[in-house]
Amino acid sequence: MFKQYELIALLAKIVEERDAYTAGHSARVARYASMLAEQMQLSIEEQNSVYQSGLLHDIGKISTPEAILLKPGVLSAEEMSIMQEHPRSSERIITQVTFLRPFAKAVLHHHERFDGQGYPDGLMGEAIPLQARILAVADAFDAMTTRRHYRKQLEIKEALDELLREAGKQFDPVVVENALVRFAALKIPEIPEAPIFPSLTERSKLAYIFKDSLTDVFNGRLLDTYLLAYEPQMQFRCCYHFSIKKMHAFNHKNGWKEGDEALILIASRLKKLFPEAHIFRLQGDEFALLHQTHHPVEVATIRAKLLCGLEELDVVMCHYDLAHEHFLSWDEISQKTKENTL
């Protein structure tokens, strides 16, 4: 049995290694699920089973493309459809191992809703396996009480109030009733917020998915995702926008290849000048960077270093304090710079 637990924990860890933002999630869901099973006076065997199902509930995400799994913003309808395949992927993986098969149905159906509006099979009410109904509450409870980039970690009472609001709709009312009792006195330490790039590996993954093909910095699509998904001031305070001027004339005189080389050089210099910042190419001749803290600079110095050897070009540089100015897209940043330089 001990080796079985070790293998299951290892499988859960493999999934979480792909996505640092979910670190510890499976273990917490397993713990909460077993607590609920105990509160509901299920047998020791059922308590152990729902615990192991909790460890395995997201194993199917190992087949989810990283471009979706790591996307920091709202998923498109197509991306959500792909993400919703993970319970079936989990079941396929689990049923390949004989001693894991008893957990397959709970894992497959943990995203079903009590009102029949869930997935993958749209099961309703008690047609959903009991352990899956328990996992659904445990999974949601952990999501709400874990800090995310886009919202604070909820207090226990706030999370329980939300479970109660969804009782009979998303969740089994009986399971929610037991959660209200069992979790009321629970002490959950504040889980530190993971940085947007918690490791060099995570940074490299996102760079591969969201990089600009010419300059190798991030593209504007990722910046839009940040601005829509997060409260930027939670992670970033400082934004600089750079608008490179006279590129059209430069390209006409020197050719498009030389123009591309100039943009590559400017991007490279931005990375050297702001090594801790996240740098984005917004469109042909615009760049932006985000920094976690205010990063005062001497504009004349930055301009001279960016355009050394590129004196035919010019640059307009604007600073924005994201604690006081809020943008929903890079286009809004670009427009604000144009207004500021009229």
- pLDDT of 74 strictly over 80: no
pLDDT grade, residue 224 (50/70/90)?
confident
Give the CA diameter of the chain.
80
2-182: CATH homologous superfamily? Hypothetical protein af1432 (1.10.3210.10)
211-340: CATH homologous superfamily? Reverse transcriptase/Diguanylate cyclase domain (3.30.70.270)
pTM for the whole thing? 0.66
- Mean confidence (pLDDT) of the chain: 86
More confident residue, 224 or 285: 285
Question: Most confidently modeled of 98-102, 116-120, 298-302?
Answer: 116-120
In this prediction, residue 166 carries a pLDDT of 98
- pLDDT of 73 strictly over 70: no
Q: Quick one: which H or E segment has residue 84?
A: none
In this prediction, residue 232 carries a pLDDT of 46
- pLDDT of 236 strictly over 60: yes
How many whole angstroms separate alpha carbon 289 and alpha carbon 266?
13
How many whole angstroms separate alpha carbon 277 and alpha carbon 299?
17
pLDDT grade, residue 193 (50/70/90)?
low
- pLDDT of 180 strictly over 90: yes
Residues of the chain with CATH 1.10.3210.10: 2-182
More confident residue, 174 or 63: 174
Tell me what the mean pLDDT of segment 166-170 comes to: 97
- Count other Cβ atoms within 10 Å, centred on residue 53: 31
Contacts with 85 (C-beta within 8 Å, 6 or more apart), sequence order = 60, 63, 64, 120
In this prediction, residue 19 carries a pLDDT of 63
Residues of the chain with CATH 3.30.70.270: 211-340
> Cα torsion at 202, 205, 206, 211 (round to 10°)?
140
Q: Determine what percent of the chain is predicted with pLDDT higher than 90.
A: 56
Tokens read off for 338: 């144009």
How many whole angstroms separate alpha carbon 163 and alpha carbon 262?
55
Q: What are phi and psi of 243, to 5 degrees?
A: -110, 110
Q: What number of CA atoms fall less than 13 Å from residue 318's CA on the CB side?
A: 18
Express each pLDDT in 107-128 by its tens digit. Answer: 999 999 999 999 999 999 999 9
In Å, how far from its chain's centre is CA 68? 9
